[in-house]
Structure 1
Amino acid sequence: MSEFNFRILKVLNNNIILAYDFKNKKDTILIGKGIGFGKKENKKVYINTKSIQRSFAANNEKMQNEYFRLVNQIDPSIIEVCEKIIDIAEGEMGELNSHIHILLTDHISFALERVKMGMRIENPFIDEIKILYKNEFDIAMQAIEMIRTKLGIDLGFEEIGFIAMHLHSARKNVNVKETMRNTRMLNEITNIIEEGLNLELDKTKYNYRRLINHLQGALDRINTKKFIENPLLENIKKEFKDSFEIIKAIKVKLEEEYEMEIPEQELGYMAIHIERLKTK
């Protein structure tokens, strides 16, 4: 065992420090009860790994400063809960993008402030999120219960969806704004379908879940510009005329949002899903 395994770079408080990890050759944020007590900056130290509850690499100085700003502004109990949520998520889904430590903590802190001020959290995309990001949604439900138990504040059911989107974005290494955008588009497309069919879709049924998953696949292909071919397109147009009219409205919406031409072949299969919903 080496005499030293870290160099102390900055002590945030008794529970959080920034240190250089000699083994991994990285600046690392260490979190643990009392881990910063008595530590001096720029000193080499040995820290028993058993006393480190959480650690993550600080990729750059900007990230360090953002996290330290949060630490100095937010109640340590909130940070502790957020780190526990991230720990559970990584245990079930694998390593997340390290920015989740900043983004999730900032988001939950802001949500807590809104609830304290009596503001209601609304999430119009909750049904889509529950279908698309099932694992993340299940973990987010645990997170809401943990926040209620440890912090004494119930953020409510709809906040589960927002936490799930943050976890999904960190899991897929995409900007949370992109996840939000795709989820919003799914919601708007289903609204177009409901108007076209003149009915309210039952979001608990299998056909709805299948539609949402198909739509997500289409949005993924639009984002990557890798469209699929559809040899059945002409038959679909003839057999499902009414459903294909709805597709035309969806095509207009997608082209406005993504500022590109969306081939009919990509959207053709969607008419089959809409036809199923109509007949059910």
Structure 2
Amino acid sequence: MEGYEVVKVFNNNVVLAKKEDIEYILIDRGIGFNTKKGEKILKDAFEKVFILESDIKDKFTQLISRTDKEIVGVCEEVINMISKEYDDLNKDIHIKLVDHIAFAVKRIKEKDEIENPFLTEIETLYTKEYEIAKRAASLIEERLNIKIPEGEIGFIALHINAAKSKESLSNTIKSAYICNSIAEIIEDELKIEIDRKSIDYARFVTHIKFTIHRVINNIPIKNELKASIKRKYKESYRIAKLVVEFLEKELDQKISDDEVAYIAMHIEKLKNRALF
């Protein structure tokens, strides 16, 4: 009999099945309801089919052997949700997100919450990913009957960005770390506290994001007001030079004076908002 042979049922909507020695994650409403291992699924149309390719198959098998099936199931529903927003996800998300959520659930149940120091930066840098992560958290809460803290939503957003951009999670986190560290440099130098929820800080973080992109990709920028900014905003320009020294060390790249001037402009705005 042709069809998919059920290998494991994760929940009512997600099953692991095989066909001609290839394993698939099948997602469809009610597909796992009253379904048993070894049964055949004869239909060919599903809401979503993920093929477990050979380079992740063994890792996924090891992961599900030690992870609660309900957690795996809801994570795959979350991945399905993400895939509707981004077509070509890194297949490692089936390992990394499931593993992360499983550990997060364990921590939450043990009341051992890990603080997310970059939450504001994540929400600003990865706005769409953060919104998807909030929807993912709601689904996890509904399925597992737990409360997902806001910091954890930020971590989920980082995983989403890493999967859709196909860059390493460490690089995704690094952007948030850099923005947060720069804010601390500015606060220390000006003896102020920046409102991390302000529009000015959101604009500043976005500017730093694009600065990093330009520097990494060797995209030049011209600032016609450079001399005027340097003369008019001396303190902000001095701090911008410190910020750029930090960026050059983190990115291992030289940064132009034109970029320094733009950063100085944003520092001046942050300074004025904090003082008045």
> What is the TM-score normalised by the length of structure 1?
0.85
The reply on whether 1:48 has 2:47 as its aligned counterpart is no
Deviation larger for 63-72 or 227-236? 227-236
Q: Which amino acid aligns with 2:79?
A: I
The reply on whether 1:13 has 2:8 as its aligned counterpart is yes
How far apart are residue 28 of structure 1 and its match?
Answer: 5.1
Q: Which amino acid aligns with 1:29?
A: Y
2:93 to 89, 93, 100: 100
How far apart are residue 4 of structure 1 and its match?
Answer: 4.8
CA distance in 1, matches of 2:145, 2:164: 28
- Unaligned residue ranges in structure 2 (runs of 5+): 10-14
CA distance in 2, matches of 1:159, 1:121: 8
- CA distance 1:54–1:64, shift in 2 (3 Å): same
Alignment partner, residue 181 of structure 2: 188
Alignment partner, residue 37 of structure 1: 37
Q: Which amino acid aligns with 1:33?
A: G
CA RMSD after TM alignment? 2.3
How many residue pairs get aligned? The number is: 263
- CA distance 1:73–1:191, shift in 2 (3 Å): same
Q: Which amino acid aligns with 1:17?
A: A
Alignment partner, residue 24 of structure 1: none
- Unaligned residue ranges in structure 1 (runs of 5+): 22-26, 40-44
| TM-superposition CA deviations, 1:246-270 (whole Å, max 9, x none) | 1111112112212232222223211
How far apart are residue 5 of structure 1 and its match?
Answer: 6.6
Q: Identity over the aligned pairs, expressed in percent?
A: 32
Alignment partner, residue 160 of structure 1: 153
Q: Which amino acid aligns with 1:68?
A: T
Do the aligned partners of 2:71 and 2:102 also contact (CA within 8 Å) in 1? yes
How far apart are residue 66 of structure 1 and its match?
Answer: 1.0
CA distance in 2, matches of 1:275, 1:192: 14
- CA distance 1:143–1:137, shift in 2 (3 Å): same
| TM-superposition CA deviations, 1:135-187 (whole Å, max 9, x none) | 11112112222222211222311100000010111111111111011111111
Q: Which amino acid aligns with 2:252?
A: E
> What is the TM-score normalised by the length of structure 2?
0.86
The reply on whether 1:219 has 2:219 as its aligned counterpart is no
1:1-280 equivalent positions in 2, closer than 5 A? 4=2, 12-14=7-9, 15-20=15-20, 27=22, 29-31=24-26, 32-33=31-32, 37-38=37-38, 47-50=42-45, 52=46, 54-59=48-53, 61-280=54-273
Do the aligned partners of 2:24 and 2:49 also contact (CA within 8 Å) in 1? yes
